[in-house]
Copies of this chain bind each other. A is one copy, B any other.
């Protein structure tokens, strides 16, 4: 699993949290702890799906363009990381005579893809707003 999903969720939660629901890639990058160019790459993907609006030039940046109580982590995962559950390394070899060796990669593909759908079923029950609430809970639990 790469971490673009994490960055996307963090960015959206941050935008939802901020009163003006806006931030530049520099501000988001400082909060997330990564490079602004990486944030822009992820945000550009969220923009294509309509979750954020962007504005170039002075005073520009990213603005939340969705209802955080409605957008789910499943939608974000599909936008940024679908297919990343499966490891890139593949078992067996299609050229082999052995039935196991030449079909295992296919079957593991099936299984990882079904497992990913199960995971998505869970993520579809968690919204950006829920994540923000979880953060508030963790924070208030710190005495």
Of A44-52, A59-67, A112-120, the one with at least 4 CB within 8 A of chain B:
A112-120
Q: Does A75 contact B (CB under 8 A)?
A: no
A92 in contact with B138 (CB, 8 Å): no
B118 in contact with A134 (CB, 8 Å): no
- What 1/0 flags go to A89-118 for Cβ under 8 Å of B? 111110010111101101110110011101
B73 in contact with A111 (CB, 8 Å): yes
Collect the chain B residues with CB atoms within 8 Å of residue A19's CB.
Answer: none
Q: Does A55 contact B (CB under 8 A)?
A: no
Known: A122-B115, A122-B118. Is A135-B99 also a contact (CB below 8 A)? yes
CA–CA, A85 to B13, complex, Å?
A: 21
Collect the chain B residues with CB atoms within 8 Å of residue A131's CB.
Answer: 107, 111
- What 1/0 flags go to A23-37 for Cβ under 8 Å of B? 000000001111000
Besides the known contacts A3-B87, A3-B89, A32-B104, 16 further A-B residue pairs in the complex with CB atoms under 8 A apart: A1-B1, A1-B86, A3-B91, A17-B99, A31-B92, A31-B98, A32-B91, A32-B101, A33-B91, A33-B93, A100-B135, A107-B131, A111-B126, A116-B119, A118-B121, A119-B119
